Amino acid sequence: MSPARILSRQALAGLARDRSVLILVAFFAAMVLVTAWLGWSATATVNAIYADAAAYLSGAGQPVPPNPVSTSAPLAVLRNLGVYISLIGAFGAIVIGQHLVEADRRAGTLPLIGAGPFARRDIALGKMRALVTATAAMMAVAGVIALGTLLTLPSLVVTGPDLGRLALFLLAGWAYVTTFGFLALGAAARLPATAAGLIAATVVWLVITFVLPELTANLHPTAAINPVTTLAATPDAGVFHLFSALLGPVSLAEGFAWLSGDLLGFLPEGLAPRGLVPPALALSVALVLSGLFAAQAATRLDLNAGGPDA
């Protein structure tokens, strides 16, 4: 087994035994379940109303229109999932990224790892591998719950291409949350003070989630956490068009929301993404850049720091 793999396995085992990480992941899973229940409940209500209306209309000899559930995109029932990934998922990844460095620092094991017979890049690779696996596990939980919801809803016809789009949505969600995890990992490696990495990455996340949408689309924080209102068109004012063009590519929360709407089938017709860079490309570039930052910072991690007072 390679040193990076050994380090990754140890880090994942540590995450699995850390109460704060477990609580966050459980909270994320619970919110995904709530999303599923909301989608299921809303669809079941529409189905019930439709059944009553159809029975009444047939009895009155009137034509029966098609069930609106069967005419809308089936994945749209998961529209709240994007919000929870963007909020709780991203914050969970930040906590995990910071924990991957801080746990070793607190345990005073960084010098022991640093005195091991392997290259410094193995330490970075091990940490990054653990992060990527942990965030993939979070998305897998979301995927299983989402799939369960789709398959148990009556009147909802889920096709192969729908499942493909769901997989792409989960991949985009993974890229989005992992970007923040990498930022936290890199920041924790760079900043030796306890929780400094967590705070730095959280500030970046807050700016991307709440400040940038305000500048590009006059979206207030409460609107920014709503899956429908966050997909607003750029207001018809010069300043918003300017900020939209300039900040659009880095406004990752908006980019992810647009991508969610597009993949899950609830994107308002004709709504263009902010800026000139397609959101999928912006997310991919952000993931690569944050990964490079994490790799560079973790390779140069001060292995002398830490101990019981850290």
Partner 1 sequence: MPHATPAVSTRGLSKSHGETVVLHPLSLDVPQGEVFGFLGHNGAGKTTTIRLLTTLLAPTSGSACVAGHDVTAEPLKLRAAIGYLPENVRLYDQFTARENLLFFARLSGVADPVDAVRETLEFLDITALADRRVGTFSKGMRQRVGLAQAILHDPEVLFLDEPTSGLDPMGVRQLRAVIEKLHGRGMTIFMNTHLLSEVARSCTSIGVLAHGRLVFNDSMQAVADRYDEVGLEELYAGVAAAGVAA
Residues 82 and 173 sit within 8 Å (Cβ to Cβ): yes
Count of residues that bind partner 1 according to CB under 8 A = 29
- What is the DSSP secondary-structure string of 108-155? T-HHHHHTSSS-HHHHHHHHHHHHHHHHHHHHHHHHHHHHHHHHHSTT
x/- contact string, 2-21, with partner 1 (CB under 8 A)?
Answer: -x--xx--x--xx--xx---
The reply on whether position 140 binds partner 1 by CB under 8 A is no
**C-beta of 104 vs 162, nearer to partner 1:** 104
Closest to 199 measured CA to CA, from 215, 212, 183: 183
**C-beta of 106 vs 241, nearer to partner 1:** 106
> 18 to 57, contacts with partner 1 by CB under 8 A?
18
> Please, what is the Cα angle at 245 between 73 and 225, to 5 degrees?
45
With CB under 8 A as the contact rule, which of the stretches 1-9, 157-165, 228-236, 289-297 interacts with partner 1? Answer: 1-9
The nearest distance, CB 134 to partner 1, in angstroms, is 16
**C-beta of 1 vs 60, nearer to partner 1:** 1
Amino acid letter for position 251: S
x/- contact string, 89-118, with partner 1 (CB under 8 A)?
Answer: --------------x--xxxx-xxxxxxxx
The reply on whether position 303 binds partner 1 by CB under 8 A is yes
**Calpha distance 141→145 (Å, rounded):** 6
**Calpha distance 41→4 (Å, rounded):** 45
The reply on whether position 299 binds partner 1 by CB under 8 A is no
**Calpha distance 225→222 (Å, rounded):** 6
**C-beta of 7 vs 138, nearer to partner 1:** 7
Residue 289 neighbours by CB under 8 Å, 6+ apart: none
The nearest distance, CB 307 to partner 1, in angstroms, is 4
Would you state the structure tokens that stand for residue 198, as one six-digit string? Answer: 């967590």
DSSP-derived letter for residue 167 is H
The reply on whether position 154 binds partner 1 by CB under 8 A is no
The nearest distance, CB 5 to partner 1, in angstroms, is 9
**C-beta of 275 vs 306, nearer to partner 1:** 306
Radius of gyration (Cα) for the chain, nearest Å?
22
Instruction: Tell which one of 65, 148, 268, 307 touches partner 1 (CB under 8 A).
Output: 307
Binding residues vs partner 1 (CB under 8 A): 1, 3, 6-7, 10, 13-14, 17-18, 103, 106-109, 111-119, 303-304, 306-309
